[in-house]
Amino acid sequence: MDTIEGYQVKPEFIPMLRKILSKHGDVMEMFLRIPWYSQRYSELQDKGLDKITEDELRNMFGVANEIKNMKVNTEWLFLRLEEILEARQILGQSGILKEEKDNNRKKECEAEKKAVEAKFRLICDKIRCKEIASKEKLAREEDESARISETTMNAKSKIRRFVNYSSADGLF
């Protein structure tokens, strides 16, 4: 194990530690000095975006400022907190947009339903009109059939006496 700036690390991790220290400063000092922040950082890892409140994020911004005043490089922390805050806002907006989309879809479905109902009523009205016309036609045809039957019966009764007998029968 080698020692780099007070940290004992395996030789293969020395380049990585140097990059971390050069990019972020002594991050461990920050975690050792501010246990509250360490706890919040752990909570951030465990929580999803929808579970982190804006108050928690604003509180973390305040703590990040305190850490910055201790001469610890916190630029990366501010960037991450801003990304989280922006992502939360986008998540909230997407929820609103999804709700609007659902409402629009419901309105479209209602309009489509009303159009289908109107077409259905129109078809039913046409069917009723055809039914009424058919019933009227049937009644006329039944009347005509009854008239024809009556005429036929009258005609049969008039010619029945001539069918089996001579036309002159019964004259003398």
Rounded to two decimals, the pTM is 0.43
Q: What pLDDT, on the 0 to 100 scale, is given for residue 35?
A: 59
In a domain, 11, yes or no: yes
Domain that holds residue 3: 1-33
pLDDT in tens, 103-160: 999 999 999 999 999 999 999 999 999 999 999 999 999 999 999 999 999 988 888 7
Does residue 1 lie within any of the structural domains? yes
Task: Give the H or E element holding residue 84.
Answer: helix 75-163
Rg (CA), the chain: 48
Q: Which positions ≥6 away from 31 have C-beta within 8 Å?
A: 37, 38, 41
Contact (Cβ atoms closer than 8 angstroms) between residue 39 and residue 29: no
pLDDT digits (tens, 9 = 90+) for 13-44: 888 778 877 876 666 665 555 555 656 666 66
In a domain, 12, yes or no: yes
DSSP percent split of the chain into helix, strand, coil, nearest 5: 80, 5, 15
Domains: count for the chain:
1
- Structural tokens at position 94: 């997407």
Short-list 84, 23, 18, CA closest to 54: 84
Is there a domain that residue 124 lies in?
no
Higher pLDDT, 10 or 167: 10
Whether 27 is in a domain gets the answer yes
